[in-house]
Amino acid sequence: MSTAILEGMRVVEGSAFVAAPLGGMTLAQNGADVIRFDQIGGGLDFARWPLAPGGQSLFWAGLNKAKRSIALNLRSDEGRELASALIAEAGMFLTNFPARGWLAYDVLAERRGDLVMVALAGNPDGTSEVDYTVNPATGFPWATGPRNFSEPLNSVLPAWDVAMGTLAAFGLLAAERHRARTGEGQLIRLALSDVAFAMVGNLGRIAEAQLGGRDQPKDGNYLYGAFGHDFETRDGRRLMVVALTARQWHALQDATEIHEACAKIEEATGYDLSTETGRFEARDLITALLRPWFAARDLSAIRELFAGTGVSWGPYQTFSQLVEEDPRCSTANPLFEDVDHPGVGHYLMPGSPLWFRAVEREPVRRAPLLGEHTEEILADVLGLSPTEIGRLHDAGVVAGPALAGANPDGH
């Protein structure tokens, strides 16, 4: 067993909201020393919902785990100088701040010629865009929701931010690999709308629109192009059942004993239920066949009946049910630990989902308090003396720990 998989990597992060913090956290939870700098008092995401009962941002705490935090007055020349010095020292920089002025790559690279920097933006031209404004443009909200519902429906999950954050971390590793082989630094640009629209293409939706000239209509909880639907159980719970592959389809027919009925449907309609397309075309009939079977059984009974059969299914859970009922979301799963969030309480925190056999699993580390590591970073990374650090404190250029919570929002 050796040390962390990203041993020896240091990354400075200047960020807010989801994508950039998630990218930094992905690196930090895999062993990189990630230093997030923030404006004293907190950045734009310091009060973002969800909030703890005491007002602290659980969002901020969730997306900054395992990092170190330094609080600087970024409106002062001295504060910017400290951030620039940290970036030069680390040699890697992740940001969704505008990459211009003192944060322009070429300015930062004057102090560190082989700097690797990833600059996240909303659109390729640098204009702003957030997940909640780019998602409507992708087409997915018009394909989401009950049949014949006349309005677009947004996703509650900021999926494009999630994809972008992970891709930013990938880009940093790719550029660091290149640097290790060539000595060359790198500016990486990544736009949220590009992440989203590329994925629309990757999933075949652009080609379908161009070649087929039609849009997938809203189709409730049906799977597109195969069989999948939700069902209500006798005890009022819901579950999703999917038959993508032939094996899953046979397992579902076996477990629910609908083989004969399916054969009759094939005779009656001409649909070929042995193909994905046939099962999609016959989805209303298959659903109607299956509904009474689920309505006659409790969720727990169905769980037992499906265990080991190869049926592809899963229960619907609220966030609370996930935490209360699902053993995969508990300390029985080494992904999670029960960790103390100072001033807020204990709760389940996830580490990195990646498990590397030849290195030790990183313990789950909470997010820092804002400015929790200001002094140690100034001392250890920049080599400043206690006297100099004291002067910076007194001058309001740096600040120590503060609890994440409601900020004045007066930016």
Among 41, 310, 342, 401, binds its own copies (CB under 8 A): 310
Burial degree of 34 (CB within 10 A; 0-12, 13-18, 19+): buried
Q: What is the pattern of x (binds its own copies, CB under 8 A) and - over residues 74-113?
A: -------------------------------x--------
Which residue stretch of 87-95, 257-265, 319-327, 382-390 sits at the interface with its own copies (rule: CB under 8 A)?
319-327
**Under rule CB under 8 A, residue 47 binds its own copies:** yes
Helices 131-138 and 159-182 pack at an angle, to 10 degrees, of: 100
**Under rule CB under 8 A, residue 300 binds its own copies:** no
Catalytic residue among 106, 161, 284, 394: 161
**Under rule CB under 8 A, residue 356 binds its own copies:** yes
**Under rule CB under 8 A, residue 162 binds its own copies:** yes
Considering beta carbons, is residue 48 or 68 the nearer one to its own copies? Answer: 48
Number of residues that bind its own copies (CB under 8 A): 165
The answer to whether 68 and 33 are in contact (CB under 8 A) is: yes
Which residue stretch of 74-82, 85-93, 285-293, 342-350 sits at the interface with its own copies (rule: CB under 8 A)?
342-350
CA 183 vs CA 37, 108, 178: distances in Å: 27, 17, 7
Q: Which of residues 11-40 bind its own copies (CB under 8 A)?
A: 17-18, 22, 25-26, 30
Minimum CB–partner distance for residue 113 and its own copies (Å): 12
Q: Cα dihedral sign for 15, 17, 23, 29?
A: positive
Q: Cα dihedral sign for 47, 50, 55, 56?
A: negative
Among 101, 211, 267, 387, binds its own copies (CB under 8 A): 211
Minimum CB–partner distance for residue 187 and its own copies (Å): 4
Among 98, 182, 292, 360, binds its own copies (CB under 8 A): 182
Any idea what the Cα angle at residue 13 is, between residues 11 and 17, rounded to 5°? 140
Assess whether 161 carries a catalytic annotation: yes
Q: Which of residues 273-292 bind its own copies (CB under 8 A)?
A: 274-277, 280
Instruction: State the maximum Cα–Cα separation within the chain, in Å, rounded to a whole number.
Output: 87
Rounded Cα distance between 370 and 70, Å, is 7
Considering beta carbons, is residue 110 or 376 the nearer one to its own copies? Answer: 110
Rounded Cα distance between 393 and 370, Å, is 15
The answer to whether 271 and 265 are in contact (CB under 8 A) is: yes
Considering beta carbons, is residue 159 or 289 the nearer one to its own copies? Answer: 159
Which residue stretch of 74-82, 137-145, 289-297, 385-393 sits at the interface with its own copies (rule: CB under 8 A)?
137-145
For 130-226, list the strands marked E by DSSP: 186-191
Rounded Cα distance between 145 and 147, Å, is 7
**Under rule CB under 8 A, residue 318 binds its own copies:** yes
Among 58, 104, 261, 379, binds its own copies (CB under 8 A): 58
Residue with tokens 């640098």: 126
Which residue stretch of 79-87, 89-97, 151-159, 386-394 sits at the interface with its own copies (rule: CB under 8 A)?
151-159
The answer to whether 6 and 32 are in contact (CB under 8 A) is: yes
Tokens of 29: 């939870």
Tokens of 298: 């409790």
Among 223, 262, 285, 402, binds its own copies (CB under 8 A): 223
Nearest CA to 171 out of 14, 284, 273, 24 is that of 24
Catalytic residues: 161
